[in-house]
Structure 1
Amino acid sequence: MSKNEISKQDKKEMATSNKVDKHTLNYVFETDEEGDSTITDLILDGETLKLETMTIAKSETTSKILHGLTGLTDTKVALSYLLNTASSLKDPGLEAKFRHLVAFLEEMKPKDPIEARLLSTFLTLNDNANLMMKNAGKAEMMNHGDYFYRNSMKAANLSLQAIQTLVKYRSKGTQQINIMHMHDNSKAVVANKIEGGRGGS
Protein backbone atom coordinates (compact mmCIF):
# COMPACT_ATOMS: atom_id res chain seq x y z
CA MET A 1 0.00 0.00 0.00
CA SER A 2 1.50 3.37 -1.00
CA LYS A 3 1.39 6.45 1.17
CA ASN A 4 -1.32 7.93 -1.07
CA GLU A 5 -3.52 4.83 -0.70
CA ILE A 6 -3.64 4.82 3.08
CA SER A 7 -7.09 3.95 4.39
CA LYS A 8 -9.16 6.40 6.41
CA GLN A 9 -8.69 4.46 9.64
CA ASP A 10 -4.95 5.14 9.40
CA LYS A 11 -5.63 8.87 9.57
CA LYS A 12 -6.04 10.20 13.07
CA GLU A 13 -7.12 13.63 14.22
CA MET A 14 -5.42 14.66 17.42
CA ALA A 15 -7.49 17.13 19.40
CA THR A 16 -5.48 19.69 21.30
CA SER A 17 -6.29 22.73 23.34
CA ASN A 18 -4.36 25.12 21.09
CA LYS A 19 -6.53 28.19 21.47
CA VAL A 20 -5.60 31.74 20.48
CA ASP A 21 -8.22 34.48 20.14
CA LYS A 22 -11.00 31.85 20.24
CA HIS A 23 -9.38 29.80 17.45
CA THR A 24 -8.75 26.08 17.95
CA LEU A 25 -6.07 24.18 16.07
CA ASN A 26 -6.08 20.38 15.69
CA TYR A 27 -3.62 18.14 13.86
CA VAL A 28 -4.23 15.23 11.46
CA PHE A 29 -1.60 12.49 11.60
CA GLU A 30 -1.12 9.91 8.86
CA THR A 31 0.69 6.63 9.47
CA ASP A 32 2.41 4.87 6.58
CA GLU A 33 2.85 1.10 6.17
CA GLU A 34 6.16 1.19 8.05
CA GLY A 35 4.38 2.70 11.05
CA ASP A 36 5.91 6.18 10.69
CA SER A 37 3.58 9.08 11.43
CA THR A 38 3.57 12.64 10.16
CA ILE A 39 1.20 15.61 10.15
CA THR A 40 -0.64 15.87 6.83
CA ASP A 41 -3.34 18.44 7.56
CA LEU A 42 -4.36 20.99 10.15
CA ILE A 43 -7.92 21.61 11.31
CA LEU A 44 -8.58 25.24 12.22
CA ASP A 45 -11.95 25.86 13.88
CA GLY A 46 -13.34 22.68 12.31
CA GLU A 47 -12.09 23.44 8.78
CA THR A 48 -9.48 21.08 7.31
CA LEU A 49 -6.51 22.93 5.84
CA LYS A 50 -3.87 21.53 3.50
CA LEU A 51 -0.43 22.84 4.41
CA GLU A 52 0.33 23.56 0.75
CA THR A 53 -2.88 25.44 -0.13
CA MET A 54 -3.77 27.46 2.97
CA THR A 55 -5.22 30.92 2.41
CA ILE A 56 -3.23 33.86 3.77
CA ALA A 57 -5.78 34.54 6.53
CA LYS A 58 -5.83 30.90 7.67
CA SER A 59 -2.05 30.73 7.41
CA GLU A 60 -1.66 33.82 9.61
CA THR A 61 -3.98 32.41 12.29
CA THR A 62 -2.23 29.03 12.24
CA SER A 63 1.16 30.73 12.37
CA LYS A 64 0.05 32.81 15.37
CA ILE A 65 -1.03 29.70 17.29
CA LEU A 66 2.19 27.83 16.52
CA HIS A 67 4.23 30.95 17.34
CA GLY A 68 2.77 30.79 20.85
CA LEU A 69 4.23 27.29 21.22
CA THR A 70 7.59 27.65 19.48
CA GLY A 71 8.36 31.33 19.02
CA LEU A 72 8.72 30.55 15.30
CA THR A 73 6.70 32.39 12.64
CA ASP A 74 6.89 29.89 9.77
CA THR A 75 4.20 27.20 10.05
CA LYS A 76 6.21 24.42 8.39
CA VAL A 77 9.35 25.17 10.41
CA ALA A 78 7.32 25.25 13.64
CA LEU A 79 5.62 21.92 12.86
CA SER A 80 8.93 20.33 11.90
CA TYR A 81 10.48 21.55 15.16
CA LEU A 82 7.58 20.16 17.22
CA LEU A 83 7.67 16.79 15.43
CA ASN A 84 11.45 16.40 15.76
CA THR A 85 11.38 17.31 19.44
CA ALA A 86 8.37 15.09 20.18
CA SER A 87 10.12 12.08 18.65
CA SER A 88 12.66 12.18 21.52
CA LEU A 89 10.04 11.77 24.25
CA LYS A 90 9.30 8.43 25.88
CA ASP A 91 5.54 8.27 25.24
CA PRO A 92 4.45 5.44 22.90
CA GLY A 93 3.49 6.68 19.43
CA LEU A 94 4.21 10.04 17.81
CA GLU A 95 0.71 11.41 18.45
CA ALA A 96 1.04 10.85 22.22
CA LYS A 97 4.52 12.38 22.22
CA PHE A 98 3.29 15.36 20.22
CA ARG A 99 0.33 15.86 22.56
CA HIS A 100 2.68 15.73 25.58
CA LEU A 101 5.02 18.35 24.10
CA VAL A 102 2.25 20.70 22.94
CA ALA A 103 0.51 20.58 26.34
CA PHE A 104 3.80 21.34 28.12
CA LEU A 105 4.70 24.28 25.87
CA GLU A 106 1.17 25.69 26.13
CA GLU A 107 1.47 25.64 29.91
CA MET A 108 4.96 27.20 29.98
CA LYS A 109 4.23 29.90 27.35
CA PRO A 110 7.65 30.45 25.74
CA LYS A 111 8.14 34.03 24.56
CA ASP A 112 10.65 33.31 21.77
CA PRO A 113 12.42 30.41 20.01
CA ILE A 114 15.22 30.32 22.60
CA GLU A 115 12.78 29.85 25.49
CA ALA A 116 10.92 27.19 23.48
CA ARG A 117 14.19 25.34 22.80
CA LEU A 118 15.27 25.47 26.46
CA LEU A 119 11.85 24.27 27.64
CA SER A 120 11.69 21.40 25.15
CA THR A 121 15.29 20.45 25.99
CA PHE A 122 14.34 20.31 29.67
CA LEU A 123 11.27 18.19 28.92
CA THR A 124 13.18 15.75 26.71
CA LEU A 125 16.06 15.30 29.17
CA ASN A 126 13.77 15.02 32.19
CA ASP A 127 11.56 12.52 30.37
CA ASN A 128 14.53 10.35 29.44
CA ALA A 129 16.04 10.64 32.93
CA ASN A 130 12.81 9.25 34.38
CA LEU A 131 12.73 6.43 31.83
CA MET A 132 16.33 5.43 32.57
CA MET A 133 15.70 5.52 36.32
CA LYS A 134 12.72 3.22 35.77
CA ASN A 135 14.94 0.88 33.72
CA ALA A 136 17.57 0.93 36.48
CA GLY A 137 14.97 -0.34 38.93
CA LYS A 138 13.93 -3.15 36.60
CA ALA A 139 17.45 -4.23 35.57
CA GLU A 140 18.29 -7.83 36.43
CA MET A 141 22.06 -7.38 36.39
CA MET A 142 23.91 -4.93 38.62
CA ASN A 143 26.07 -3.50 35.82
CA HIS A 144 22.95 -2.80 33.73
CA GLY A 145 21.25 -1.11 36.67
CA ASP A 146 24.37 0.98 37.30
CA TYR A 147 24.52 2.00 33.63
CA PHE A 148 20.90 3.19 33.62
CA TYR A 149 21.30 4.92 37.00
CA ARG A 150 24.42 6.87 35.94
CA ASN A 151 22.84 7.96 32.67
CA SER A 152 19.64 8.93 34.47
CA MET A 153 21.65 11.18 36.80
CA LYS A 154 23.47 12.77 33.84
CA ALA A 155 20.21 13.48 32.01
CA ALA A 156 18.60 14.86 35.19
CA ASN A 157 21.59 17.17 35.76
CA LEU A 158 21.45 18.42 32.17
CA SER A 159 17.69 19.04 32.45
CA LEU A 160 18.33 21.11 35.59
CA GLN A 161 20.98 23.11 33.70
CA ALA A 162 18.46 23.81 30.92
CA ILE A 163 15.98 25.24 33.44
CA GLN A 164 18.70 27.29 35.17
CA THR A 165 19.71 28.68 31.77
CA LEU A 166 16.07 29.54 31.07
CA VAL A 167 15.76 31.39 34.40
CA LYS A 168 18.92 33.40 33.60
CA TYR A 169 17.71 34.09 30.06
CA ARG A 170 14.34 35.29 31.31
CA SER A 171 16.09 37.72 33.68
CA LYS A 172 17.35 39.48 30.49
CA GLY A 173 20.36 41.35 31.79
CA THR A 174 19.49 41.66 35.47
CA GLN A 175 22.79 41.63 37.33
CA GLN A 176 23.64 41.05 40.96
CA ILE A 177 26.93 42.62 42.04
CA ASN A 178 28.52 41.66 45.35
CA ILE A 179 31.43 43.82 46.51
CA MET A 180 33.61 42.46 49.29
CA HIS A 181 36.23 44.60 51.09
CA MET A 182 39.14 43.00 52.89
CA HIS A 183 42.28 44.46 54.48
CA ASP A 184 45.58 42.67 53.92
CA ASN A 185 48.61 44.38 55.51
CA SER A 186 46.91 47.78 55.30
CA LYS A 187 46.00 47.31 51.61
CA ALA A 188 42.36 47.24 50.56
CA VAL A 189 41.36 44.30 48.37
CA VAL A 190 38.10 44.56 46.45
CA ALA A 191 36.50 41.51 44.86
CA ASN A 192 33.55 41.78 42.51
CA LYS A 193 31.19 38.94 41.74
CA ILE A 194 28.77 39.51 38.90
CA GLU A 195 25.85 37.16 38.29
CA GLY A 196 22.74 37.28 36.20
CA GLY A 197 21.59 37.66 32.64
CA ARG A 198 23.17 38.88 29.46
CA GLY A 199 24.43 42.25 30.71
CA GLY A 200 21.61 44.37 29.35
CA SER A 201 20.07 47.24 31.30
Structure 2
Amino acid sequence: MTLLELLQLMRKHLKLMIVLPIVCALATAVVCFVALPNTYTASTSMYVLAKQSSANSDNAANYSNLNASQMMANDVSTLLKSDRIEADTAKDLHLESLKGYSTKVTSETTSRVITLSVTGTDPDIAATIANDMASNVSKVAQQVMDVQSVNVIDQATAPTAPSGPNRPMYIAVALLAGLFVAIAIVVVSDMLNTKVRNADEIEDLLGLPVIGRMPALKGGK
Protein backbone atom coordinates (compact mmCIF):
# COMPACT_ATOMS: atom_id res chain seq x y z
CA MET A 1 0.00 0.00 0.00
CA THR A 2 1.41 3.35 -1.03
CA LEU A 3 1.22 6.53 1.03
CA LEU A 4 -1.28 8.00 -1.42
CA GLU A 5 -3.52 4.94 -1.07
CA LEU A 6 -3.29 5.20 2.72
CA LEU A 7 -4.27 8.87 2.63
CA GLN A 8 -7.20 8.09 0.37
CA LEU A 9 -8.26 5.29 2.72
CA MET A 10 -8.05 7.63 5.72
CA ARG A 11 -10.09 10.22 3.87
CA LYS A 12 -12.70 7.60 3.07
CA HIS A 13 -13.03 6.80 6.80
CA LEU A 14 -12.54 10.38 7.99
CA LYS A 15 -15.17 10.11 10.70
CA LEU A 16 -13.37 7.23 12.42
CA MET A 17 -10.02 9.01 12.05
CA ILE A 18 -11.40 12.01 13.94
CA VAL A 19 -13.71 10.44 16.50
CA LEU A 20 -11.44 7.68 17.87
CA PRO A 21 -8.44 9.94 18.73
CA ILE A 22 -10.76 12.47 20.39
CA VAL A 23 -12.42 9.74 22.47
CA CYS A 24 -9.01 8.43 23.60
CA ALA A 25 -7.83 11.94 24.49
CA LEU A 26 -11.01 12.73 26.45
CA ALA A 27 -10.83 9.42 28.36
CA THR A 28 -7.19 10.08 29.26
CA ALA A 29 -8.02 13.63 30.36
CA VAL A 30 -10.73 12.35 32.70
CA VAL A 31 -8.33 9.81 34.23
CA CYS A 32 -5.58 12.44 34.62
CA PHE A 33 -7.78 14.99 36.37
CA VAL A 34 -9.77 12.53 38.49
CA ALA A 35 -7.36 9.71 39.38
CA LEU A 36 -3.97 11.47 39.29
CA PRO A 37 -3.50 14.08 42.04
CA ASN A 38 -1.14 17.03 41.73
CA THR A 39 2.42 16.47 42.92
CA TYR A 40 4.81 19.11 44.23
CA THR A 41 8.62 19.19 44.21
CA ALA A 42 10.70 20.93 46.88
CA SER A 43 14.47 21.26 46.43
CA THR A 44 17.42 22.09 48.64
CA SER A 45 21.09 22.46 47.72
CA MET A 46 24.13 21.57 49.84
CA TYR A 47 27.87 22.19 49.73
CA VAL A 48 30.24 19.47 50.87
CA LEU A 49 33.33 20.69 52.71
CA ALA A 50 36.12 18.20 53.36
CA LYS A 51 38.58 18.52 56.22
CA GLN A 52 41.57 20.58 55.14
CA SER A 53 45.09 19.22 55.32
CA SER A 54 47.74 21.05 57.32
CA ALA A 55 49.60 21.89 54.12
CA ASN A 56 46.70 23.71 52.52
CA SER A 57 48.98 26.58 51.46
CA ASP A 58 50.57 24.31 48.87
CA ASN A 59 48.86 24.33 45.44
CA ALA A 60 49.16 20.57 45.07
CA ALA A 61 47.53 20.08 48.47
CA ASN A 62 44.71 22.45 47.56
CA TYR A 63 44.10 20.57 44.31
CA SER A 64 44.09 17.29 46.21
CA ASN A 65 41.60 18.68 48.73
CA LEU A 66 39.34 19.86 45.90
CA ASN A 67 39.34 16.40 44.30
CA ALA A 68 38.69 14.78 47.67
CA SER A 69 35.73 17.10 48.27
CA GLN A 70 34.28 16.32 44.84
CA MET A 71 34.53 12.57 45.49
CA MET A 72 32.98 13.03 48.92
CA ALA A 73 30.11 14.92 47.29
CA ASN A 74 29.37 11.77 45.30
CA ASP A 75 29.55 9.71 48.51
CA VAL A 76 27.17 12.09 50.27
CA SER A 77 24.78 11.85 47.30
CA THR A 78 24.74 8.07 47.75
CA LEU A 79 24.25 8.51 51.49
CA LEU A 80 21.18 10.65 50.88
CA LYS A 81 19.54 7.65 49.19
CA SER A 82 20.34 5.28 52.05
CA ASP A 83 17.75 3.61 54.28
CA ARG A 84 19.35 5.19 57.36
CA ILE A 85 18.73 8.77 56.20
CA GLU A 86 15.16 7.96 55.18
CA ALA A 87 14.47 6.15 58.46
CA ASP A 88 15.94 9.00 60.56
CA THR A 89 13.92 11.57 58.61
CA ALA A 90 10.68 9.62 58.97
CA LYS A 91 11.33 9.28 62.72
CA ASP A 92 11.98 13.03 63.09
CA LEU A 93 8.70 13.85 61.31
CA HIS A 94 6.72 11.16 63.23
CA LEU A 95 5.98 9.24 60.04
CA GLU A 96 6.02 5.49 59.59
CA SER A 97 8.01 5.87 56.38
CA LEU A 98 8.57 8.25 53.48
CA LYS A 99 6.30 6.16 51.26
CA GLY A 100 4.52 8.36 48.75
CA TYR A 101 7.42 10.80 48.51
CA SER A 102 10.15 10.25 45.95
CA THR A 103 13.65 11.71 46.18
CA LYS A 104 16.08 12.71 43.45
CA VAL A 105 19.73 13.56 44.13
CA THR A 106 21.85 15.44 41.61
CA SER A 107 25.62 15.78 41.97
CA GLU A 108 27.93 17.01 39.21
CA THR A 109 31.34 15.37 38.92
CA THR A 110 33.08 18.77 38.78
CA SER A 111 31.23 20.39 41.67
CA ARG A 112 30.80 19.94 45.41
CA VAL A 113 27.21 21.13 45.26
CA ILE A 114 24.44 18.55 45.74
CA THR A 115 20.79 19.15 44.92
CA LEU A 116 18.10 17.14 46.68
CA SER A 117 14.54 17.19 45.33
CA VAL A 118 11.57 15.65 47.11
CA THR A 119 8.29 15.11 45.28
CA GLY A 120 4.93 14.33 46.90
CA THR A 121 1.29 15.31 47.07
CA ASP A 122 1.73 17.71 50.03
CA PRO A 123 4.03 20.70 49.29
CA ASP A 124 4.69 21.51 52.96
CA ILE A 125 5.66 17.95 53.88
CA ALA A 126 7.85 17.68 50.76
CA ALA A 127 9.80 20.78 51.81
CA THR A 128 10.08 19.56 55.42
CA ILE A 129 11.38 16.17 54.29
CA ALA A 130 14.01 17.79 52.04
CA ASN A 131 15.31 20.05 54.81
CA ASP A 132 15.36 17.29 57.41
CA MET A 133 17.19 14.91 55.07
CA ALA A 134 19.82 17.60 54.47
CA SER A 135 20.26 18.00 58.23
CA ASN A 136 20.51 14.26 58.83
CA VAL A 137 22.98 13.64 56.02
CA SER A 138 25.28 16.30 57.46
CA LYS A 139 25.33 14.56 60.85
CA VAL A 140 25.88 11.08 59.41
CA ALA A 141 28.53 12.25 56.93
CA GLN A 142 30.56 13.79 59.74
CA GLN A 143 30.32 10.54 61.70
CA VAL A 144 31.20 8.03 58.99
CA MET A 145 33.19 10.07 56.44
CA ASP A 146 36.11 12.45 56.53
CA VAL A 147 33.75 15.40 56.05
CA GLN A 148 34.03 18.67 57.90
CA SER A 149 30.45 19.68 57.17
CA VAL A 150 27.61 19.59 54.67
CA ASN A 151 26.37 23.15 54.50
CA VAL A 152 22.92 24.02 53.21
CA ILE A 153 23.01 26.67 50.50
CA ASP A 154 19.29 27.05 49.85
CA GLN A 155 16.67 25.62 52.15
CA ALA A 156 13.65 23.97 50.58
CA THR A 157 10.43 25.97 50.59
CA ALA A 158 6.91 24.71 49.98
CA PRO A 159 6.20 25.03 46.24
CA THR A 160 3.07 26.88 45.21
CA ALA A 161 2.72 25.35 41.73
CA PRO A 162 2.45 21.62 41.02
CA SER A 163 5.30 19.86 39.22
CA GLY A 164 3.17 17.02 37.91
CA PRO A 165 1.59 15.04 36.52
CA ASN A 166 2.31 16.18 32.97
CA ARG A 167 -1.31 16.00 31.85
CA PRO A 168 -0.86 17.69 28.43
CA MET A 169 1.78 15.11 27.49
CA TYR A 170 -0.47 12.20 28.53
CA ILE A 171 -3.38 13.62 26.52
CA ALA A 172 -1.18 14.20 23.45
CA VAL A 173 0.13 10.62 23.64
CA ALA A 174 -3.44 9.30 23.93
CA LEU A 175 -4.45 11.38 20.92
CA LEU A 176 -1.64 9.92 18.82
CA ALA A 177 -2.36 6.41 20.08
CA GLY A 178 -6.01 6.79 19.07
CA LEU A 179 -4.93 7.95 15.62
CA PHE A 180 -2.62 4.95 15.15
CA VAL A 181 -5.35 2.56 16.28
CA ALA A 182 -7.80 4.14 13.84
CA ILE A 183 -5.27 3.76 11.00
CA ALA A 184 -4.67 0.11 11.96
CA ILE A 185 -8.41 -0.61 11.98
CA VAL A 186 -8.86 1.00 8.57
CA VAL A 187 -5.89 -0.82 7.01
CA VAL A 188 -6.83 -4.24 8.41
CA SER A 189 -10.45 -3.77 7.35
CA ASP A 190 -9.35 -2.85 3.84
CA MET A 191 -7.08 -5.92 3.64
CA LEU A 192 -9.93 -8.23 4.69
CA ASN A 193 -12.29 -6.63 2.19
CA THR A 194 -9.66 -7.02 -0.53
CA LYS A 195 -9.35 -10.76 0.25
CA VAL A 196 -13.11 -11.18 0.05
CA ARG A 197 -13.24 -9.33 -3.28
CA ASN A 198 -10.41 -11.47 -4.68
CA ALA A 199 -12.19 -14.65 -3.58
CA ASP A 200 -15.43 -13.47 -5.24
CA GLU A 201 -13.55 -12.67 -8.46
CA ILE A 202 -11.99 -16.17 -8.55
CA GLU A 203 -15.37 -17.76 -7.88
CA ASP A 204 -16.96 -15.80 -10.72
CA LEU A 205 -14.09 -16.69 -13.03
CA LEU A 206 -14.08 -20.44 -12.31
CA GLY A 207 -17.76 -20.85 -11.68
CA LEU A 208 -16.92 -22.78 -8.50
CA PRO A 209 -17.37 -21.97 -4.81
CA VAL A 210 -14.06 -20.86 -3.32
CA ILE A 211 -12.74 -21.36 0.20
CA GLY A 212 -9.74 -19.13 0.63
CA ARG A 213 -7.77 -19.67 -2.59
CA MET A 214 -8.75 -23.32 -3.27
CA PRO A 215 -11.94 -24.37 -5.07
CA ALA A 216 -14.31 -26.46 -2.98
CA LEU A 217 -15.18 -29.51 -5.13
CA LYS A 218 -18.56 -31.12 -4.50
CA GLY A 219 -18.53 -34.71 -3.26
CA GLY A 220 -14.86 -35.16 -3.93
CA LYS A 221 -11.61 -35.17 -2.09
Normalised by the length of structure 2, the TM-score is 0.21
Normalised by the length of structure 1, the TM-score is 0.23
With a CA cutoff of 8 Å and minimum separation of 6, indicate the structure with the bigger relative contact order: 2
Tell me which protein shows more strand as a share of its residues.
1
Tell me which protein shows more helix as a share of its residues.
2
